[in-house]
Each structure stands twice: as C-alpha cells, then as structure tokens.
Amino acid sequence: MTTILLCDDHAVVRAGLLALLGSAPDIEVLGEAGSGEEAVALAAKLRPQVVLMDLQLGEGIDGVEATRRITALPNPPAPPHVLVLTTYDTDADITRAIGAGATGYLLKAERPEELFSAIHSAAQGRTTLSAPVASRVMAHMRGSRPTLTDRELDILGQLARGLGNRDIARALFISEATVKTHLGRIYDKLGVDTRAGAVSVAKEQRLLP
C-alpha cells in the first residue's frame, strides 16, 4: 500500500483526484492540502510516502517552495517523495521543481494508469517524467549553455537584485524601451516568460555571480 498526500488549491481538482485514487486498491490517501503551507504541515504530521504536488497554489508559498521544505523534513522517518502533478511544463517550472527535490514531474493530461504507476515509482524513489517533460529535459541537457551578451548579463544581474525596468534603465543609463527589448531576448534564450523564471534559470546555469 502506497500512502499519499494531495496538494492542490482547487477543491474540485482535489475531489476528482480523491475519487480517481480511491479506485486504486493499493493507494491510500492520508490527507489533502489546499496550500503549500498546509502541505508542509500535513507532510510533517502524516508522513506519507508520496506528496502529489501542484505548482501554482494561489496565495502563500508555491509548489516549488513547498517541495523544498517537504524534502528537507528531518529523519527519521525519511522525508516523503514529491511527485509534481501540474499543467505547467515550461523549462523554468521543470528546472525549479527538480532543483527543489521533486522525484517526478507529471502533467495532468496523463492517463490514470500513468498516474498510478508514477505514484508507486515515486514511493520507491524512482524518477518519473511525463513524455513531454522528459523531452524538454533531454533537449535542455543536450543544448549548449545559453549565451548572453554583456548587456544582457548586466540586466540579468539587476533583475536578480529585484529592480524594476525603470530602475534598471537608470542604473545602466539606457532607456526603458531598451531594457524591455533586452528582457525579451533574455527570456527567449533562457526559455522562460517571467522575471523570476529568468533569475531562477540563470542561477541554475551559473550565469550570475
């Protein structure tokens, strides 16, 4: 019997997963959480083998930070394994989740039997990735390190400091329009669509000091 904890901020989604997982005789749901903070608390209390984790959780900490805290829970017993179950498959999301300690990364479009199999694999510490996610990971591993210009690296450094476009423009003595142009190129090169994603991937790729 594999024990799990559900974490998703949508009650309807949780209800659907509970009904689905209830049809599997070898999976037991110990509890459900609607926020990252609640998931961490319940994981520490219930100690499931697997936490089924969404990434976007509304207010509070997101699924990545919840994953990081859950996988860092003290021994004994061993911390739960986290299996991400989400609709998001951008390079930044995948990189952040795996970097936080997720054992697997599954998309919600998967068939029920794939979900059941992934849960059992995660319980044993084996990595399971949805096919589209595995393809992106392999492409990322095969690809060369992103090459950013000196100006793009300057702007990335200012992003990491938390500066907005206007402050970056002032700091680098360029126009806001130029900042926006460079940001677009940075996003394309790093495969992200947000400022936080750009900083996260840049740190993973060691593009920042």
> Can you list the alpha helix ranges (DSSP code H) found in the chain?
11-21, 36-46, 63-71, 91-99, 112-123, 131-142, 150-160, 165-172, 176-190, 195-204
**What confidence tens digit (pLDDT) does each residue in 24-37 have?**
999 999 999 999 99
Assigned token pair, 59: 């207010």
What is the reported pLDDT for 58? 84
If DSSP codes are grouped into helix, strand and coil, which group holds residue 208? Answer: coil
CA 144 to chain centre: 22
First CA to last CA across the chain, in angstroms? 46
Tokens at 115, concatenated: 């979900």
Tens-digit pLDDT profile for residues 66-82: 999 999 998 777 889 99
Banded model confidence at residue 198, pLDDT cuts 50, 70, 90 = confident
Tell me which amino acid residue 97 is: A
Rounded distance, CA 192 to CA 93, Å? 9
Residue 107 near residue 132, CB atoms below 8 Å = yes
